[in-house]
Amino acid sequence: MRNIFWSLFLFTGLSLQAQELNCTVSINADQAGLTNNQVFKTLENSISDFVNRTDWTGQGFNQNERISCSMYITVTSYSNNQFAASIQVQSARPVFDSTYSSPVFNFNDKDFNFDYTEFQNLIFNPGTFDSNLVSVLAFYSFIMIGIDADTFSPNGGQSYFENAQDIANAASNTNYKGWKQSDGNQNRYFLINDLLSSTYSAFHDTMYEYHRNGLDKMSIDPKAAKEAIAASMETLAKVNAARPNAFLTRVFFDSKSDELVSIYSGGPSIPIAPLIDRLNKLSPLNSSKWSGIKM
């Protein structure tokens, strides 16, 4: 659990309890072509309040424990309270004994259409579908909390992924895109189904090994930490063995590719030829980045 991590390593902060997310929300409506942007500013504030003030888990995080994340929404059209948009969701977690925050989730959802009337209340009611806006925001809030928890304890995100699946199941009965298998092969439906599938259990193992056995020990023994991160790529290879070019493998490298290059391009050296070979097999789309790792 994240709060155990903070207590164990004596991080200090405010004693007042807060919600789980510290989310920056940005809306770009340039493509909508409107001169009056007030509704977008109101929407931006409404989403920020909703995501940051909703108690998603009932666990009461301290202020310094809140998950740093962002939601960048691009509105492509707006008419009669109907929005066509995309949303990019990103989150990061702190690394022990450093000022560095490691990116853990980076996902661009292009099927974010919703209705919103200016100043309407956004309220999350578990188990019900109230609006696509609320459902998508709640879905990704639980995804970010779950993935963050995976990096602190083995399979720590399971219950949060189940919450996200409940949202997806309720929304699948609507006409909004992204919730159903027929809507594409890299959407919310596949994201949550893959996260909960035993076929891809090695993804969760990788998230824990990479962060707790690797990054969090970088200040103590950087060489051993690098070896642990390299070993976690062998764990991730189990996902690829079960399903070549798996969606979750792409999700992993969308957040981690630049970080991996940085980790192995400086500091104490370890044999990295096997690692580069493994990375090229796991993520050939990033081969140009892997070639930039200094031997």
Model confidence over 94-110: pLDDT tens digits? 999 999 999 999 999 99
- The pLDDT of residue 185: 87
- The pLDDT of residue 13: 38
Model confidence over 128-177: pLDDT tens digits? 999 999 999 999 999 999 999 999 999 999 999 999 999 999 999 999 99
Mean local confidence (pLDDT), 178-206:
96
Mean local confidence (pLDDT), 77-90:
96
Q: Which sign, positive or negative, has the C-alpha torsion 106, 111, 117, 118?
A: positive
Answer with the residue of higher pLDDT: 253 or 268. Answer: 253
**Which residue, 102, 134, 133, 122, is CA-closest to 216?**
102
Model confidence over 13-66: pLDDT tens digits? 333 445 899 999 999 999 988 777 899 999 999 999 999 999 999 887 778 889
Q: Taking all residues of the chain, what is their mean pLDDT, rounded to a whole number?
A: 92
Q: How far apart are CA 86 and CA 153, in angstroms?
A: 32
Per-position DSSP letters for 128-184, written without gaps between them? ----HHHHHHHHHHHHHHHHHHHTTSTTTTHHHHHHHHHHHHHHTTSS-TTSSGGG-
